[in-house]
Amino acid sequence: MNQATAKQLILHLNNTRQRTLELVNGLNAKQMMGEKLTTVNPLLWEIGHVAYFYELWILRHLDGVNSILENADALYDSIHIAHTDRWDLPLLSRADTLAYMQQVLDKVVEKLQQPDVSDEAIYLTRYAIFHEDMHTEAFTYTRQTLNYPTPQFSLTTPLENSYLDIETTTADINKALDSDALIPARSFVLGADKKTEFCFDNEKWGHSIHLDTFQIAKTATTYAQYAAFVDAGGYQNSNYWDKEGWEWLQKSKLQCPLYWQKDGNTWLIKHFDQWQIMQPNAAVIHISWHEAMAWCRWAGRRLPSEAEWELAAAGNPNNAEKTRYPWGNSAATPQRANLDGYRLQTIDVYALPEGDSAFACRQMLGNVWEWTVDTFEPYPEFKADMYADYSQPLFYQTKVLKGGAWTSRSRMLRNTWRNYYGADRNDVFAGFRSCAL
């Protein structure tokens, strides 16, 4: 069993590493360092950190070997190296960084190919792959933040090639989707089941809660829906913003969402280094929690709680069993969700009916991370995993997002996944769907 899993993990290792390299291909030395901003890392540091994470947890932790680099901890330990110091470290050259990355990868693959590969090695490798997957999402929004060109992702497998078979310019327009899904009151188990093959510490463990009847939008909020708020003067009216949100808006000096600008009467949206005409039915993205909350006040709506979102995605009106994905328990496909980055942007919210949840909510995985109203907090049985700083430093300081975005990797997502960002983050791939009051 472990050998079959190990072979699959080797494929994932090579796939996520290919994505990492594609996201830095073509960037010059100055771009690899980038601007010193609080929301991004220097890419030269970050790709080395990804390799370091594999080495630290799979090679050094399990085998007690020394690092390939004598000063690896001083260069790449993100827990002990302050964010602002990462631009000033004596980093390896690009060529040497790539060589270090390859050396670590080769050693991890060699370990996985051993006939007696352990359960712990399997677990740690999967953890590290997901860690790199999360960083490739960060590499992608870094390219957007720093105005770098649109990345080019290769399609190398039949599954990936099937992304090209989806027509994203015409949607399954179904006005029934403009209504809310009615979710009756019920008890619901929030969080991951203890039989789950893999999950992160903040998903542990499933616990029963009661939810009153609620109504949730069947689709994510679109550009057109959000533009109506902007055009109605929503960014100039403090009545739609709470105190913290209004202070954030005044400090940011935004008159509209980040990456928006008007050309006459037409809204343009910046996509990496290019301005494009707004696609009205596409899911709005790069929206902060403050902005989502303001839109809801203007529209007479509200954000769902984390539990409401998860019930709408994983629940079933006919029984109490949860599903791993909105459409069931079978793996994601391009016909079910806009994931894995190959479409390079959000798509029409009416598209991909095969991905509907049992409550007829569409695209609850993929397209955009969806803000919930909740602050990120530990579940009752929380206990930190081996990477103790994965969740704990962000408890009580960030907001919960669910569902994944167009750039998220399908292999790591499920309905119980919890993402978390500060309420001010409008640079990440976040949007929202709303609930009736």
**Which among 107, 121, 105 has a CA at the least distance from the CA of 3?**
121
The predicted pLDDT at position 168 comes to 47
**Which among 157, 166, 130, 194 has a CA at the least distance from the CA of 413?**
130
The predicted pLDDT at position 353 comes to 93
Q: What order of strands is seen across the sheet that includes strand 435-436?
A: 180-183, 214-217, 435-436, 301-302
Average pLDDT, integer, range 430-437 = 98
Per DSSP, the chain holds a count of helices (H) and strands (E) of 12, 13
The predicted pLDDT at position 197 comes to 87
Whole-number Å distance between alpha carbons of 280 and 284: 9
Helix (H, G, I), strand (E, B) or coil at 182: strand
Note the pLDDT tens digit of each residue in 216-236. Answer: 999 999 999 999 999 999 999
The predicted pLDDT at position 154 comes to 87
| Cα of 255 vs its chain's centroid, Å | 26
| DSSP-assigned letters across all residues of 304-346 | PPHHHHHHHHH-BTTBS---SBTTBSSPP-TTT---TTTT-S-
The predicted pLDDT at position 163 comes to 55
Q: Looking at beta carbons, which pairs linking 87-93 to residues 24 or more positions away fall under 8 Å?
A: 87/33, 87/36, 87/42, 87/45, 89/45, 91/42, 91/44, 91/45, 91/48, 92/48
Whole-number Å distance between alpha carbons of 39 and 142: 8
Average pLDDT, integer, range 312-325 = 92
Distance of CA 57 to CAs 8, 51, 62, 115, 128, Å? 19, 10, 7, 20, 8
Helix (H, G, I), strand (E, B) or coil at 97: helix
Whole-number Å distance between alpha carbons of 364 and 402: 8
Domains and CATH numbers, the chain: 2-145 (1.20.120.450), 158-221+298-436 (3.90.1580.10)
Work out the number of other CB atoms within 10 angstroms of the CB of residue 307: 18
Q: Are 376 and 395 in contact (CB under 8 A)?
A: yes
Note the pLDDT tens digit of each residue in 237-250. Answer: 999 999 999 999 99
- Asked if residue 13 has pLDDT above 90, the reply is yes
Helices (H), 268-425: 289-299, 306-314
**Which among 62, 54, 44 has a CA at the least distance from the CA of 14?**
54
The predicted pLDDT at position 160 comes to 52
Q: Are 306 and 374 in contact (CB under 8 A)?
A: yes
Average pLDDT, integer, range 345-355 = 94
The predicted pLDDT at position 177 comes to 79
The predicted pLDDT at position 79 comes to 92
The single-letter code of the amino acid at 397 is Q
The predicted pLDDT at position 169 comes to 45
- Cα-based torsion angle of the residue sequence 281, 283, 284, 285 in order, rounded to the nearest 10 degrees: -150
Q: Are 352 and 363 in contact (CB under 8 A)?
A: yes
Tell me whether residue 402 is exposed, middle or buried, using C-beta atoms within 10 angstroms of its C-beta: 0 to 12, 13 to 18, 19 or more: buried
Q: Are 416 and 207 in contact (CB under 8 A)?
A: no
Mean of the per-residue pLDDT values of the chain: 94
The single-letter code of the amino acid at 222 is T
Vertex 415, ends 400 and 166: CA angle to 5°? Answer: 110
Average pLDDT, integer, range 323-340 = 96
What is the Cβ-side half-sphere exposure of residue 209, based on CA atoms within 13 angstroms?
Answer: 15
Average pLDDT, integer, range 45-65 = 95
Partners of 399 in beta bridges: 375, 421
- Asked if residue 386 has pLDDT above 90, the reply is no
- Between 386 and 120, the more confident residue is 120
Whole-number Å distance between alpha carbons of 206 and 155: 37
For residue 387, report the phi and psi dihedrals to the nearest 5 degrees. Answer: -90, 85
Partners of 161 in beta bridges: none
Q: Quick one: tokens of 1?
A: 């069993």
| DSSP-assigned letters across all residues of 118-143 | -HHHHHHHHHHHHHHHHHHHHHHHHH
Distance of CA 86 to CAs 47, 71, 173, 394, 395, Å? 12, 14, 47, 20, 24
Note the pLDDT tens digit of each residue in 157-194. Answer: 555 555 555 554 444 455 667 889 999 999 999 999 99
Percentage of the chain exceeding pLDDT 70: 95
The predicted pLDDT at position 178 comes to 84
